[in-house]
């Protein structure tokens, strides 16, 4: 029977946060943002081990006490220039520790409101799938395509939201399949693990996520979570 492992890519600088401190180390509820994700993954009974992919020169992570997770948390200082590169490097570094058919749940370091219930839902609905899948939400808002990039853009057209979903994480795939997908896909066009799988001609399963499973990208996102989602603090 296949085991389940978590992989958290955390090598980015979070430049859109406008801070010298990488996004994953911004404080939320008295602890770094990344710790919220690690807490949930390491506490989940079905996640055998959590791997965190850090930048080779990362000197922030070791400033915190992670002794509570001894044996459940493994650090990999092999992060790349992009998310796809970090996940690929992480999978290759994990290769000797896990089997090719084991499931890997890739989760954003800056998505702090993950719950054990969401992990359960993903595992239950995807474990029997031949491809794998991801948490996602149907798009509810009206979508507009801009005529140009930038703050002065105007509406070029209204885009139908029918059958459109907003991807979340974790995204869960077999180790071997995800390795193959990331190696073969053009990294410039891979924004998440599911898009790499799609490049193989496969169709990942969509599993209902949660509006609370937000990703912190801009300072306003962190402010919103601090003030409106008390369960994440």
* Residue pLDDT, tens place only, 195-226: 999 999 999 999 999 999 999 988 899 989 98
Q: What whole-number distance in Å separates Cα of residue 94 and Cα of residue 76?
A: 9
pLDDT at 149: 73
pLDDT of residue 1: 86
Asked if residue 29 has pLDDT above 60, the reply is yes
Question: Is-contact 104 27, C-beta < 8 A?
Answer: no
How many C-beta atoms surround the C-beta of residue 20 within 10 A? 6
Q: How far apart are CA 45 and CA 25, in angstroms?
A: 26
Residue among 7, 1, 3, 2 nearest 171 (CA): 7
- Any idea of the CA torsion for 75, 78, 84, 87, to the nearest 10 degrees? -30
Mean pLDDT, range 82-101, rounded to an integer: 95
Residue 105 has pLDDT above 70, yes or no: yes
The predicted structure's pLDDT at residue 158: 94
Q: pLDDT grade, residue 13 (50/70/90)?
A: low
Return all residues near 216 (Cβ < 8 A) that are at least 6 apart.
17, 23, 26, 33, 110, 111, 112, 222, 225
* pLDDT of 75: 97
Model pLDDT, residue 187: 61
Ranges 37-51, 149-163, 207-221: which has the least confidence? 149-163
Q: Please name which of 59, 43, 7 lies closest in space to residue 179, comparing C-alpha atoms.
A: 7
What percent of the chain clears pLDDT 90, i.e. is strictly above it? 76
> What separation in angstroms does the CA of 49 have from each of 3, 91, 100?
9, 13, 15
Q: Give, in order, the Cα–Cα distances in Å from 232 to each of 3, 39, 52, 228.
A: 28, 11, 20, 9
Q: What's the confidence (pLDDT) of residue 120? A: 98
Q: What class, spelled out in words, does domain 4-232 have in CATH?
A: alpha beta
Instruction: Name the strand (E) or helix (H) holding 28.
Output: strand 27-28
Locate the domains of the chain by residue range: 4-232
Mean pLDDT of 102-114: 97
Is 212 in contact with 230 (CB distance < 8 Å)?
Answer: no
b/e sequence 59-89, b meaning 16+ C-beta within 10 Å: eebeeeeeeebeebbbebebbbebbbbbbbb
Report residue 152's pLDDT band, with 50, 70 and 90 as the boundaries: confident
pLDDT mean across residues, the chain: 92
Q: What is the pLDDT of residues 67-80, one digit of tens each?
A: 999 999 999 999 99
- How high is the pLDDT of residue 188? 61
């Amino acid at each position: 029977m296949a085991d389940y492992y978590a992989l958290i890519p955390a090598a980015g600088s979070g430049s859109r946060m406008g801070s010298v401190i990488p996004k994953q180390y911004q404080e939320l509820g008295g602890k770094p943002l990344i710790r919220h994700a690690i807490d949930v993954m390491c506490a989940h009974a079905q996640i055998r081990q959590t791997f965190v992919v850090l930048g080779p020169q990362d000197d922030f992570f070791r400033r915190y006490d992670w002794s509570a997770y001894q044996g459940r948390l493994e650090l990999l200082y092999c992060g790349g220039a992009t998310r796809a590169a970090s996940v690929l490097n992480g999978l290759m570094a994990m290769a000797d520790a896990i089997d090719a058919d084991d499931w890997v749940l890739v989760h954003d370091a800056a998505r702090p409101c993950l719950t054990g219930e969401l992990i359960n839902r993903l595992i239950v609905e995807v474990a029997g799938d031949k491809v794998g899948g991801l948490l996602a939400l149907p798009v509810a808002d009206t979508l507009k395509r801009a005529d140009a990039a930038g703050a002065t853009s105007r509406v070029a057209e209204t885009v139908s939201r029918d059958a459109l979903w907003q991807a979340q994480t974790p995204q869960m795939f077999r180790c071997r399949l995800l390795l193959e997908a990331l190696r073969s896909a053009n990294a410039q066009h891979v924004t998440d693990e599911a898009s790499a799988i799609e490049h193989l001609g496969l169709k990942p399963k969509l599993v209902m996520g949660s509006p609370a499973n937000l990703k912190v990208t801009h300072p306003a996102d962190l402010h919103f979570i601090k003030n409106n989602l008390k369960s994440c603090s």
